[in-house]
Structure formats: structure tokens, C-alpha cells
Amino acid sequence: MEPIDRVAIIGAGNMGSGIAQKSAQEGFKIQMVDREQRYVEDGIGKIQSSLSEAVQRRIFSETQVEEIMARVTKGIGADSVHPETDLVIEAVFEDINVKGEVLYDLSQSCGDRTIIATNTSSLSVDELANKSDRPDRFIGLHFFYHPAKNRLVEVIPSSSTSDSTLKSVTQFCRAMGKVVITCKDRPGFVVNRFFVPWLNEACLLYEEGVGTPAQIDDEAMRIFGIGMGPFALMNLTGPSIALHSTDYLAEQLETERFEGADSLRELVERGGEWDISDSNVADEEQCQIIRNRLLGSVLCISSQIVEEGVCSVEDVDRGAKVGLRWSKGPFEIANEIGTEIAADISGQYATLAGIESPKLLSDRDSKPFEFKFIDVEYADNVAYITFNRPEAMNALNEAVIEQLRVLWSSIELNDSIHTVVMRGSGKAFIAGADIKFFIDRIEDSKIDEIYDFTKMGHDVLKMIESSEKQTIAVVSGLALGGGLELAMCCDHRIGVSGKTMLRFPETGIGIYPGLGGTQRAVRIAGIECARFSVIAGNWLTSDIAHSMGFITSLVEFKDLDRTLENIISGKIEARGYQFGPRDPDDEAIKQIMRVYGSNWKENILKGGGSSEFISKQSKMISRNAPIAVEVASRLMDIANESREDFEIGLNEELRGLNGIFSTSDALEGLKGVIEGRRVLYKGE
């Protein structure tokens, strides 16, 4: 697999400029190409406008925007593509003949090693691959609008795409922080396959007089947990796009029900928009029909997708939640209403649409779906584990921990596996534990269940830490709380320069790191760096995390796979527990060591203001829950004092759980995270 570093985007419209912007933001060298200078300038203007808005919202600084734009160069015509380009993404008009012409031109101008990808929401990747001179180095991508903001991308290999091409492009998408769904080349791929008929079904409901656009939108928002119903969405993106998409899908799937509704076609012909200003109040009979029809279409078609092997149940739900921002995926909704009811609604729609009723739901005998949140692949005596719950930033909950326990037990029994690599899907490795789980248990007076969950987590992490298998955590994005605690159990922790960010946020939300964090932080980086990280809850950039030792190898993204290979082959040795920072001569580390030494309370809590650094630390700690700060401090002292017996501190962590979760500060702090508000702690 060859790493991708230099990318050319062909087509400077909304999609092309958005893909270029996101790629440049993530550090790739980008060439924006179109057939005329004015189109390229328009595309550059779109990027600059979007980034200016990001500056106003304090997402980026002016300096960061300058660095991003410096990575974008211009090109006129396909023959201007830089000869060293690793990946070309064609993002021109969604017409197979137009795309075919561009692919022919690229065949003449691109180097032999260049991968060519087509960005398409519906066209056959196999058919387009046949128009390319390199079918093995050709692949389909479906970026969702707006590509700089929407995290989903569907990756569609053709029947001739090589494994190396698939891996390189998938890695590129992951480096962009995208949630990747790899799917078969079928009309509509995954999300549009059920989303486009859903839009059309809303139009059919309207023209049949079941409800007004406002009524249908209101019921759809309630069912799917979305901020916009189908008619408001079509107004936003353009009714003509919806009509084109549904007609194309109807043709490709030979399904008359999917042909654009007359009401939609008439609206497009007169160039209008849906009127959603009427009252949205509907009676129960109307709501029931709307609910069954919209749900039926989604459940039926989603089941077809899975039965055809396009992708998994989990990926369908992932596509809905990440790509469409639905609060629940189709199969989660099926579980919620009951799979027997879901099967009945799905069957009714199949009859209405004149299509074969899928058996995925009807054959379940009312059993709910069980979702897999951890994926594993085996290659060359290595197990590659991916935490794949990106809509929740891969947060740990009971199901994830139990799945990890079962998976790890099977890996331990597999003598052919010598190394295990763990990574997260999307922008996070793992963003801590599921906070709602904690809140629900506290409010239900079931803190003992929090203890049981944490104890199971302790047991799993001990299994990983004590394993004779070599363990590697690829922390290429966020690792917070429990995610960082899991990473610390691994022999190696690879970070990506400028992208990896670590943090222990617990004392700021009324608790303390309970999965061994207070103990392993001290063992890895020393008590001073542990205090800086845990008590104050400071963000750790990739550089400071590397200097402390939380990250054992810090690399540029293009060198990530090479470093991974070197670790797997034994060329890079594990650092182990040193009870001190990796680089004590780093100036930032020296300052932390001075301030967070044995007199840290006097330095910070009583002497705040004597320096800018101390003043900042004092302010941060003052915002955290005082009981949590005190308990975390005591636990880290235990870790430092009982270096020969790791179990002492781990047991103390567990022993203190009932107490910390019984404080009013814990409930208030956890709720503050969910509600997005600042909390004032009472120390109770």
C-alpha cells in the first residue's frame, strides 16, 4: 500500500472545492483543476469564503487558514495534473459521458502509479472503470454534501479495483477524519438507496392528499429525530436534484415506485419550492399513515441493501446517522418499535411498491438486531481492530467493552497472531466512556452497575496490558478519558503530528479517571506530568504527549504505515513504564516538573498568579470538581508510592467509585456535558 500525499481534484464546483478544502485542512498537497481559469478561481473563492466563516466561528485562526491555502495550487485542464500526484479525484457533473471524457483525458496525462477516483452519488463505478486506462487503480467515492463538514464517505471498489488501491484510498479518507463505509457497486450505493425513495414517498403522500408538506415534515422529524423533514431538505438542496436522483434510481433498479412523483416533477418544471408554511398539525390517522409509509420504505429498502451484500446492518445505520444526521439508524428504529412490527410495515411497503419483500426482518422471529461495534481483520499474523461507533466518537459502553472482552479472549487463543493493532473510526480513537450511561445509573440509584461496568473494563485492560501479543494503538485523532486509558495499556502508541490530541477530562466533569488512568499516567510519564494531565485536565497536543511518553512514536501521516510496519517487524522497541517523561529536557516538560512537583498545591492552589503558566493552571483547577481533584491526587500519590505493586492503586480506583459517583458534583458535571453548559461545583 502506497501512502497518499499529493492529490488533484478535477472539477472546482461545490463538491470539488469542498473535497479540496477538507483535504488541504488535513495536510495534503492539493491541486485544484478545471477546464478554465475562471472556474478554478471560483473554486478557490468558495474555499476562502468557507474558511473565512470558520475563522469568524473560531474554528481556525488566520494563520491556520494561510497554511491551508498555501497547500492549494491551481491547474487548467487535465493535462496540468502534477506528474507526482498520488490520487486524482474526478468531481465533475454527474453524467457518465462527461465523466468518461474527463477520465480519457486523465488517462493520457497521469503517471502510471496515480490512482484515479470518481466522486459519484449514483453512477456505476464498474462502467466508469471501463472508461479508464487503469481499472486496477480506479475506485469510486461518494462524498456527502458539504464535503468539508459532512463526515461520511462511501468507498466503492469496482470489480477490478486492487486491494492496494482500496487500502490506500481508505487510509486517505480516514486521514481526513471521514467515517468510511465500503460498499458494493449497486445503484444508490448505501445511503441514497433508501434516502432518495424516502424523499419520493413523501411527495407521493402529499399528492395522494394524506398530508401537507408541513404535516409530513413534522411527522418525519419526529420519527427519524431530524431537524428538517423531506420537503424542507428538498428546498435546501434543490427539488431538481431529488427528481434526477429518484428517476435514475428507478431506471437502474427497474422499480416504478421510485419514479419521480408527479407533484415533484411539476414543481421542478415551474421552478418552484415546496410550501411548508401551513399548519403542521395532523390527526392520529394521518400521522399513522405517514409514519408507516416513510418507515416502511426505509426499513424495506435497507433490508434489501443488507440482503444483497452491499454492506452490513451496522453500516446502513452508520450512514443514516453520520451522513443524514438521523438520531437513529433504520435497524435501531426496528429494534425500538419491535422487529415484528418493523417486518409488517416493511412488508406493506413492499406490496405497495411491487417489489419482493426482504426476509431480513420477517425471519427474525421478533428478535432484535445485535450490533457489532468492533471490526477485526487478520493479515500476516496481525489482528487489526477498529472501534467502529463513529456517531458516538467510539465511546465505550457496556456493549463495546463486552465485545472487546470476547474478541480479545479469542485473539489470545490464536497462536498465529503475534501483534494487535487498534484504531478508531472517524476523528477519534475513543472519546471516553458513554456519559449517558453514568447519568442514567446515578438517577436510577444503580451506582453498583457503574462499578460493575468499570470492573469489567479493568479486567479487559489488564488482559491487554499483560498479553504476550505485541499491542499497538494508532491514535491519529482524539483520545479522551477511557480511550486514553485503553491506549495506555498498549506497548506502542502512535500519534500523528498536528492531529493527535489527548485529554483526561474527568475532574472537570466531577469524577476521576477510573479505568486505571490515575495509575498508568504516573507509570508512563511520572507524577508531575500525570498531575498536569489529570488534575488540571490540560489538553495534550501531539508534541507534548510525545515528550511525556503518552505517545511513543510521533509521525507525519504519510509515514504512519511505514512506522506501523517497523513496529510490527520489531525494528522499534516498546518504551515500557519509566515513571518519568520521555523527554525531560523539553522546556515545556521542565516547567511542568517544577510547578507540579511535591509542592504543587502551594505552587498552584495558593500561589496562583506568580507566573502566566501558574495562573492558567490555577484557573483550570479551580473550575474542576474539588472532591474529584482531591481523590485523583491521592490516587496518583498511591501510584507513585507503590511502584512495585500495581494492584494497590488499581484496587483503590475501583474502591472509590461508589463515593465519587454519589457526589452531587458528579451528576451535575456529567449533565453539564450532555447539556453543553458550564458547571459550578459545590464540593458536595
Q: Which residues are designated catalytic?
A: 121, 142, 154, 192
What number of residues does the chain have? 684
Give dist(CA 526, CA 545) in Å, integer. Answer: 13
What residues pair up with 386 in beta bridges, in sequence order?
A: 375, 423
Q: Quick one: 61 exposed, middle or buried, by C-beta within 10 A (0-12, 13-18, 19+)?
A: exposed
Give dist(CA 24, CA 5) in Å, integer. Answer: 10
Give dist(CA 464, CA 515) in Å, integer. Answer: 13
Instruction: Using the structure block, give the residue that is written with the C-alpha cell 491547474.
Output: 75
Distance of CA 23 to the CA centre of its chain: 16
3-class DSSP state of 517: helix
Give dist(CA 425, CA 181) in Å, integer. Answer: 10
Within 10 Å of residue 350's Cβ, how many Cβ atoms? Answer: 22
Within 8 A by CB and 6+ apart from 24, the residues are 30, 47, 68, 69, 71, 72
3-class DSSP state of 493: strand
Within 10 Å of residue 606's Cβ, how many Cβ atoms? Answer: 10
Region at 191 (left for phi over 0; alpha for psi -120 to 50; beta for the rest) = alpha
Contact 680, 456 (CB under 8 A): no
Q: Which string of DSSP letters, residue by residue, matches 155-208? A: EEE-TT--HHHHHHHHHHHHHTTPEEEE--S-TTTTHHHHHHHHHHHHHHHHHT
- Tell me the three-class secondary structure of 42-111, residue by residue: HHHHHHHHHHHHHHHCCCCCHHHHHHHHHCEEEEECHHHCCCCCCEEEECCCCCHHHHHHHHHHHHHHCC
Within 10 Å of residue 267's Cβ, how many Cβ atoms? Answer: 23
